[in-house]
Amino acid sequence: IAFAIPDLLRHRNSESPKLEVLDFGSGSGILSIAAAAFGADVDGVEIDPLAIDNATENLKLNSVSGKVRFARTVDELASAEKKYPVIIANILRPVLIEFSHLLVSRLSHPGRIVLSGLISTDLPDVITRYSSLLGGLKPQIFERGEWRALVFETPQ
């Protein structure tokens, strides 16, 4: 998904010229780093404190420390009302399903939510859940080898 970051970041809200991205399940921080390198301010959520330590070090190595904040929950980073024009989540199907309401509630309109780290057998459950929460929207499906990514784009 990192190769698609420049295209994902083309969303610019007229009210907020600085693009904000939520990286849910940020792990090593690679997607946060890529988004920050292209000018976004990023909130990264990761439950593993060791991964946060590693991601923080990776930010320094890539000179984007001031553009990314990490925490263990979304609520530690932002008020309950905060919406993001781009949400990326490169995590396993059960986690995407479990946190679907939270992720959709944080998506602005217009906005994009990118769900990756999936294999073909994961798609029906994930598409059904997110489509129902997003008013019947159908995703674009991207394939690379055995991996799949879904992109839902909400209208204004």
pLDDT in tens, 80-95: 788 999 999 999 999 9
Report, as an integer, the average pLDDT of 107-116: 94
Q: What is the pTM of this model?
A: 0.89
Domain spans in the chain, listed from the N-terminal domain onward: 2-154
Q: Are 117 and 91 in contact (CB under 8 A)?
A: yes
CB contact at 8 A, 108 and 83: yes
Partner residues linked to 68 by β-bridges: 42
How remote is the C-alpha of 10 from its chain's centroid?
14
2-154 placed in CATH 3.40.50.150: yes
Mean pLDDT along residues 102-118: 94
Please report which residue ranges of 4-150 form alpha helices under DSSP H. 5-8, 30-37, 49-61, 74-77, 93-98, 100-105, 123-133
Confidence category of residue 14, pLDDT binned at 50, 70, 90: very low
Beta pairing partners, 142 = 149
Compute the C-alpha angle 13/59/89, nearest 5°: 55
d(CA 80, CA 142): 31
